[in-house]
Homo-oligomer: A and B are copies of this chain.
Amino acid sequence: MDQALYQNRIEKVKAYMAKEGIDAFLLSPCANLKYVSNYGAMVDERLLVLVISQDAEPFFIANRLYKPHIDETPVSEVAYWDDSISGYDLLKAETEKRKIKTDTLAVDGSLPSLILFSIQEKFPQSKFVLGSKGITELRLIKDAEERKNLEKTSELADLSLKQTIEKGGWIGKTEKEFLNELINNMTKNGMISDGSGIAAVGENAASPHHTTGQTKIREGAALLVDFGATYNGYFSDMTRTFYFGKPSDKFVEIYNTVLKANLKAEREFQIGMLAKDLDKIARDVITEAGYGDYFIHRLGHGIGMDIHEAPGVGIGQETPLVPGMAFSVEPGIYLEGDLGVRIEDIVLVTEEGLKVLNHFPKELIIIEE
């Protein structure tokens, strides 16, 4: 564990808190907590927070079940609770003991309301605000180690999809069977999957977030595959759309429009351009082809320790895209009751320009079985 790395990140969070007038940040389990403390255990209904303040060293409030995970963090001060004492009472007592100011308390945006309300009961005079931004802004710019993890996880995603497609015999199998095989391959390749992912046949692909089910892969229909998993805690996320049998001219036209939008955005990217302007490059291609009303989501989302994080890359988003940022480029066209096509890569902005991290082919792959 790199003590200095975490120390440095905590100092930056404290600087953000000072600027925002936050007295203490009660940081609960999520990627933000992992980022500043290496704490990575499961999330459950038990109160667990890292208390970061200007008045005292950072300390954890944790159920003693989680001691082994606390031991893996650089934080040496911990107050443990168990069934004999309420974690909320302990939080109150420990902040008082350390004379920590609690006029303005920050929590993470992911904190469940159940826990928030219980904390608020113990600090009825405090103002509660979101503190997540102080960490998500740091996470926007990936360091060398993080970039390596992002490259590797996309490389493994490419490999896993290749293995799954090459296995063959997919006609007659269900969406779920395809997704399971893909997840098995990712797992064998050293990634950790949370079981999520989309395999969508034919008209099911018209729903960008289709729930993978029992529809069978068939001749004369497309298969859209959107999936990701982590390597060393960093996410991959990619989409490809295949066709089984002979596609109609209309399908090919739509596919090539999406492909053109994807390639043009990646090719014309410039360091420092605004997120909305990159979105516009892809969107204009689709609009000019007459499908603007059917590209119903943003071009992309940031990625890292969370599968969706900053920066958003869509209409109205003003973030300049600078070295260290990683995000998806995923134009799509969706015709309800008919078809859906999406092509998604993860890209990383480096000092030399845009690096596309997925190398699985993007031209329409026609599968004849």
Contact = CB atoms under 8 A, between A and B. Distances in A.
Interface stretch (A65-73, A215-223, A250-258, A344-352): A65-73
Contact of A69 (B40, B64, B209): B209
Nearest to A107: B113
5 contacts: A68-B209, A69-B209, A111-B113, A112-B112, A180-B188
B114 A112 contact: no
Interface of A: 40-42, 44-45, 64-69, 82-83, 107-114, 116-117, 128-130, 132, 180, 183-184, 187-188, 192-196, 206-211, 296-298, 308, 314-316
Given A110-B114, A195-B195, A68 B210 contact: yes
Contacts of A296: 64-65, 82
Contacts of A208: 65
A40 B114 contact: no
A209 B113 contact: no
A112 B314 CA distance: 23
Contacts of A209: 41-42, 65-66, 68-69
A207 B114 contact: no
A196 B43 CA distance: 11
A130 B111 contact: no
B298 A68 contact: no
A349 to B, nearest CB: 22
Contacts of A129: 117
B113 A211 contact: no
A240 to B, nearest CB: 20
Contact of A44 (B41, B66, B308, B315): B308
A212 to B, nearest CB: 10
Given A67-B207, A107-B113, A187 B180 contact: yes
Contacts of A66: 209
Nearest first, the 6 closest Cβ-Cβ pairs linking A and B are A109-B114, A68-B207, A111-B113, A194-B195, A180-B187, A193-B195
B180 A83 contact: no
A340 to B, nearest CB: 11
> In the complex, which of the residues A40, A45, A64, A195 has the most CB atoms of chain B within 10 Å of its own CB atom?
A195
A160 to B, nearest CB: 13
Contact of A184 (B184, B192, B211): B184
A180 B296 CA distance: 36
